Structure 1
């Protein structure tokens, strides 16, 4: 079975999300970011059903333009 099909079976929700991104944005750009993540850059990370691909983005790197950590905004944590 080709690798692409196997990943789609292992991570179906991730595959559907990526497909939607490819439709909404430039698919070449989306594919390039995924490849960078697979090759070790912190541009793409996904996990589903115990499988993971890409490089996790560190909390310190996930900062908004105002300096607040985006994950904190989602969870309600403060950055004091």
Structure 2
């Protein structure tokens, strides 16, 4: 993920596949951290594809984003097997 974000700094959308060993929280935290340190203003929506049967972690993700001040003005939601995160 970091290599792609480094190589394509003007990327506008990224969809990530959850690897079973990694949590959705870890994937989103890493992506937002990378966006912050590189000051990538082009990438706005982020999509993480998860297993359909995985637990809904929406509240946990919101708490993580807020407590670590990763984003201020954002929307996060889940549709079927994907988490979508959009911000201004």
The structure richer in strand per residue is: 2
Larger radius of gyration: 1
The structure richer in helix per residue is: 1
Q: What TM-score, normalized to structure 1?
A: 0.28
Q: What TM-score, normalized to structure 2?
A: 0.27
